[in-house]
Amino acid sequence: MLNLADIKATASAVGFDICGVTKCKNFALDKAFLESWIESGFASDLDYLKRNTDKRADATLLVEGAKSVIVCGVNYKNLYSLGYAAKATNKIASYALTTDYHTTIKSMLKQMCDELKRLCPTLSGRCFTDSAPVFEKRYAVEAGLGWIGRQSLLITPQYGSFVLLGVAIISEQCDSYDAPYTGVGCGNCRRCIDACPNNAIIERHIDTRRCISKATIERDNDALPLHGWIFGCDECQSCCPYNHTSPLCCNDLFRPTFDPTAIEWDKIGEAEFEIHFAKTPLARATLARLKRNME
Ligand code: SF4
Ligand code: SF4
């Protein structure tokens, strides 16, 4: 059995800003909602969302014998998170200005689990960061970290929505668990709904057919207006009042490694792109896709 305080101390020691722990749960209602959302066409061509909905609802189908879920997060807010100058072009979502978080967070989760295994040698499990069908945000709410905002992202009271999540699904029970989040939430605010330039937000879910973030990264949708974004979109986060009062990131691993306003894209060829951006999330889109997004 693991000790809740030990888990939180270990998460903090490897660099996570927040950590909560909950039991494995069956999210049958969330699965039903996801399936009706897909059925309505809101998932567009994001086929990975349509697969393994059973595993999303029940983590024990993903990790045999799973008992607990550790949800960890890092604040990545930087100087570009609250928006670019008016009429700026070639805008890049602020999470993409540094090393790809999939790599960084997975390494931090591994360090955390290695240390927990030292404390509890029978521990087994798996770590994920956007890399498997897991209701990460739902687990974060159950682990007391925050609530799901109207733009469908996790909002934490300390760091707003500029938080990158990772989860460890583990075989051990804990001596105690965090209580689900019950704070005030969004209240009457609807700023993110009003701020979305393509009206893609429909009360706690997204119509991905209209979402700039999806269109710039995942697939081609040349008809959709991108409003100056070439990779991702922060519009529904930069308007959020919780993000205005949250602190800037103080973890070097998540600070920007380049200035998006200083890149002379017309001088960047494949070789330069490889040198400067291969380890960033931009590599996922490819240089050709980014250049098409500038047109
Ligand atoms: S990422 Fe941009 S386009 Fe997508 S929902 Fe948010 S504001 Fe709208
Ligand atoms: S902008 Fe307002 S409605 Fe949207 S997530 Fe933030 S608090 Fe909630």
Q: What is the pLDDT of residues 178-210, one digit of tens each?
A: 999 998 899 999 999 999 999 999 988 999 999
What's the CA gap between 294 and 277, in Å, rounded? 17
Burial of 192 (0-12, 13-18, 19+ CB in 10 A): buried
Up-side HSE of residue 144: CA atoms within 13 Å toward CB?
Answer: 12
pLDDT for res 223 = 84
Domains in the chain, CATH or no CATH each: 4-77+97-170 (3.40.109), 191-294 (no CATH)
pLDDT for res 124 = 95
Q: Percent of the chain, pLDDT > 90?
A: 87
The Cβ of residue 254 has, within 10 Å, a number of other Cβ atoms equal to 25
Ligand index nearest the alpha carbon of residue 212: 1
Q: Is 75 helix (H, G, I), strand (E, B) or coil?
A: strand
Q: Return the best residue to mutate from 240, 243, 244 for the ligand 2 pocket (most ligand atoms within 8 A of CB).
A: 240
pLDDT for res 275 = 94
pTM for the predicted model, two decimal places: 0.95
The secondary structure of the chain in percent helix, strand, coil, rounded to multiples of 5, reads 35, 15, 50
What's the CA gap between 157 and 167, in Å, rounded? 19
Ligand 1: centre distance to CA 262 (Å): 24
Ligand 1: centre distance to CA 19 (Å): 27
Strand partners, 247: none
* pLDDT tens, residue by residue, 107-123: 999 999 999 999 999 99
Confidence of residue 138 (pLDDT cuts 50, 70, 90): very high
pLDDT for res 219 = 64
